[in-house]
Amino acid sequence: MSFVITQGELEFQSGLILNGQTYRVFLATRGSLTVASTLSAWEAAKLASANGYADVTGTVGNGVYNATNGRVESPVITGQFGPATGAGFTFDAMIIKIGTTRTRPYAVRLYDVPQVLAAGQSRAFNITLGIKP
């Protein structure tokens, strides 16, 4: 016997996990880190606040059920990095931290090729946080 999680339950779970929580999106140079690495390990590999780099922070808005995707989605978070200054910066990982007490990242994006932002360049990322059964 199997059951389907209802839309209302997904919205409830999203509310417990995401709604109103602080977030921080940051860039890192991963070295030997993996998606299974702890948040403290990723924070140690985070880019320094220099050459135009700064973390993106805010509060997660209330999620809404998206029937097409079959999940509850937060409002889009725009991660705007740059414009780079001086020598610019290079990264090969993007990490999303939710809340203040968790020991694991909410999500990790690894790049096969290092991403470079030279002086004057910016990059924006549109991020949707989703909860799916």
Find the DSSP H helices in the chain: 7-17, 39-44
DSSP strand E in 1-133: where? 22-28, 56-59, 64-66, 71-73, 77-81, 89-98, 107-117, 123-127, 130-131
The stretch 68-86 carries a mean pLDDT of 92
Domain range list for the chain:
7-131
pLDDT one-digit tens code per residue, 5-60: 888 888 888 888 889 999 999 999 999 999 999 999 999 999 999 999 999 999 99
Per-residue confidence (pLDDT) for residue 106, from 0 to 100: 94
Residue 93's CB: how many other CB atoms inside 10 A?
25
For position 67, what pLDDT does the model report? 87
Q: Which position has the higher pLDDT, 82 or 3?
A: 82
The model's pTM is 0.89
For position 6, what pLDDT does the model report? 86
Please give the C-alpha separations between residue 21 and each of 59, 106, 119, 131, in angstroms, as whole numbers. 5, 12, 33, 14
Contact status, residue 55 vs residue 24, Cβ threshold 8 Å: yes
Higher pLDDT, 133 or 70: 70
